[in-house]
Amino acid sequence: MAQTANFSKAVRLGLIAGIVALSVSAIGMVQTFDVRDIITGVLTLGQLLLFSTALVAGYFSWQKGEGVAPVGAILRGLVAGLLTAVPPIALVFLTIIWPGIRNSFVNVSADLIEILTFGQTPVVGSLMLLVVMGVLGVIGAAFDLLPRRIQKPLFSGLLWTLVIGLLSEILLLILRPYTPRSVLNFLFGAKGITPITAVIVFVLAVGISAWWDAQGKQAMQHRRAEMAPAKAKQLRRLNIGLGVAFVLILPVIMGTYLTEVADIVGTFILMGLGLNIVVGFAGLLDLGYVAFFAIGAYVMGLLTTQGDLGIGGLSFWAALPFSVLAATLAGIILGVPVLRMRGDYLAIVTLGFGEIIRVLVVSDLLKPYIGGAQGILQIGKPQVMGFVFVQPEHYYYLILAGCLLAVFVSWRFRDARIGRRWMALREDEDVAEAMGIRLVSTKLMAFATGAAFSGLAGAIFASRLSSIFPHSFNLLISINVLSLIIVGGLGSLPGVVVGALVLVGLPELLREFAEYRMLLYGALLIVTMLLRPEGLWPSPIRRRELHAAELDHRPDDSEDAKSMA
Partner 1 sequence: MSQRFKEIDFIGVFLWVFRAVIIVLVIYGTVAKLFLGVGNTYTVETWIDFFVSGLSQGSLYALIALGYTMVYGILFMINFAHGEFFMSGAITSTVLVATYLSASGFMDSQPVVSLLVITAVAITTSISVALLTERIAYRPLRRAPRLVPLITAIGASFFWQYFFRGLFGSALIPFPVPEALQGRWTILGLEFLRTRVVVMATTIVALVSLYLFIQRTKTGKAIRAVAEDKDVAALMGINVDRTVSITFAIGAAMAGVAGVLWGLVFRQVHFYMGFVPGIKAFTAAVFGGIGSIPGAALGGLLLGVIEAVGPPLFLEGLGIAGAHQLKDVIAFTMLVLVLIFRPQGLIGEKLAEKKA
Where does this chain bind partner 1 (CB under 8 A)? 23, 26-29, 103-107, 283, 285, 287, 336-345, 347-349, 351-353, 355-356, 359-360, 362-365, 367, 438, 440-441, 479, 482-483, 486, 515-516, 518-519, 521-526, 529-530, 533
Shortest distance, position 83 Cβ to partner 1, whole Å: 19
**Is 197 or 478 the residue whose CB approaches partner 1 more closely?**
478
Whole-number Å distance between alpha carbons of 483 and 94: 37
The residue among 396, 166, 382 whose CA lies nearest residue 259 is 396
**Is 431 or 529 the residue whose CB approaches partner 1 more closely?**
529
β pairing state of 37-39 and 43-44? antiparallel
**Is 103 or 182 the residue whose CB approaches partner 1 more closely?**
103
Whole-number Å distance between alpha carbons of 192 and 510: 12
C-beta of residue 535 within 8 angstroms of C-beta of residue 486: yes
C-beta of residue 505 within 8 angstroms of C-beta of residue 513: no
Whole-number Å distance between alpha carbons of 159 and 77: 21
What distance lies between CA 134 and its chain's CA centroid? 32
**Is 400 or 423 the residue whose CB approaches partner 1 more closely?**
423
- Rounded to a whole number, what is the largest CA-CA distance in the chain? 82
**Is 248 or 519 the residue whose CB approaches partner 1 more closely?**
519
Shortest distance, position 45 Cβ to partner 1, whole Å: 16
**Is 162 or 504 the residue whose CB approaches partner 1 more closely?**
504
Does an H or E element contain 180, and which? none
Shortest distance, position 336 Cβ to partner 1, whole Å: 5
The DSSP 8-state label assigned to residue 389 in this structure reads P
Shortest distance, position 212 Cβ to partner 1, whole Å: 34
**Is 19 or 250 the residue whose CB approaches partner 1 more closely?**
19
Shortest distance, position 27 Cβ to partner 1, whole Å: 3
Shortest distance, position 184 Cβ to partner 1, whole Å: 35
Whole-number Å distance between alpha carbons of 479 and 375: 23
**Is 183 or 336 the residue whose CB approaches partner 1 more closely?**
336
Does an H or E element contain 295, and which? helix 290-304
**3-class secondary structure, 277:** helix
**Is 165 or 488 the residue whose CB approaches partner 1 more closely?**
488
Bridge partners of 37? 44
Shortest distance, position 377 Cβ to partner 1, whole Å: 22
Shortest distance, position 477 Cβ to partner 1, whole Å: 13
Cα-Cα end-to-end distance for the chain: 56
Whole-number Å distance between alpha carbons of 104 and 100: 8
Phi and psi for 391 in degrees, rounded to 5?
A: -70, 155
Whole-number Å distance between alpha carbons of 163 and 131: 27
Shortest distance, position 70 Cβ to partner 1, whole Å: 32
Whole-number Å distance between alpha carbons of 346 and 343: 5
* CA dihedral over 111, 116, 119, 124, signed as positive or negative: negative
**3-class secondary structure, 44:** strand
**Is 5 or 530 the residue whose CB approaches partner 1 more closely?**
530
Crossing angle for the helix pair 475-488 and 343-362, nearest 10 degrees? Answer: 140
Whole-number Å distance between alpha carbons of 255 and 171: 11
Shortest distance, position 357 Cβ to partner 1, whole Å: 9
Shortest distance, position 335 Cβ to partner 1, whole Å: 10
Shortest distance, position 338 Cβ to partner 1, whole Å: 7
Does an H or E element contain 515, and which? none
The residue among 285, 275, 265 whose CA lies nearest residue 499 is 265
DSSP class per residue in 207-244: HHHHHIIIIIHHHHHHHHHHS-HHHHHHHHHHHHHHHH
* CA dihedral over 485, 489, 493, 496, signed as positive or negative: negative
Shortest distance, position 512 Cβ to partner 1, whole Å: 13
Q: Which of 192-202 are b and which e, b meaning 16 or more Cβ less than 10 Å from the residue's Cβ?
A: bbbeebbeebb
**Is 16 or 327 the residue whose CB approaches partner 1 more closely?**
16
**Is 138 or 361 the residue whose CB approaches partner 1 more closely?**
361
C-beta of residue 251 within 8 angstroms of C-beta of residue 262: yes
**Is 18 or 283 the residue whose CB approaches partner 1 more closely?**
283
**Is 194 or 480 the residue whose CB approaches partner 1 more closely?**
480
Shortest distance, position 311 Cβ to partner 1, whole Å: 21
